């Protein structure tokens, strides 16, 4: 999670460079922390990251660098209740990539990291 605050220092993945800024990464963490079940609709997250018309590209970059994950509703998964998807007809939501990342977000550790990285 800390790597997200230094996107310029990350090596390319599959020939792609990190496409987000420190400010955008902090906004992603804050958005995930503030939503019920910590799942944000893809459209909302892309709009949040849309500085110059490339919100979807920034979101894709975060997924490729494994800083966030995209989740679809599944009958085999029980960690996200069905209402996360059915409330507004969502198909896909943005979530933390794993439990350790989720704990990092919930503890608010990102605020201290953002201040020290800025």
- Rounded distance between C-alpha atoms, residue 28 and residue 40, angstroms: 9
Write out pLDDT tens, residues 5-40.
778 888 888 788 889 998 999 999 999 999 888 999
Q: What is the CATH number of the domain that holds 112?
A: 1.10.10
Number of structural domains in the chain: 1
- Rounded distance between C-alpha atoms, residue 37 and residue 104, angstroms: 15
Which range of residues forms the domain containing residue 82?
2-117
Q: Which residue has the higher pLDDT, 68 or 84?
A: 68
């Amino acid at each position: 999670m800390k790597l997200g605050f230094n996107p310029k220092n990350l090596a390319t993945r599959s020939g792609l460079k990190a496409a987000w800024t420190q400010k955008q990464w902090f906004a992603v963490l804050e958005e995930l922390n503030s939503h019920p079940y910590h799942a944000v609709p893809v459209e909302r997250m892309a709009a949040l990251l849309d500085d110059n018309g490339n919100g979807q590209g920034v979101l894709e970059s975060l997924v490729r660098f494994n800083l966030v994950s995209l989740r679809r509703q599944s009958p085999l998964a029980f960690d996200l209740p069905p209402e996360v998807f059915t409330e507004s007809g969502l198909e896909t939501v943005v979530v933390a990539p794993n439990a350790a990342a989720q704990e990092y977000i919930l503890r608010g550790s990102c605020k201290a990291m953002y201040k020290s990285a800025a």
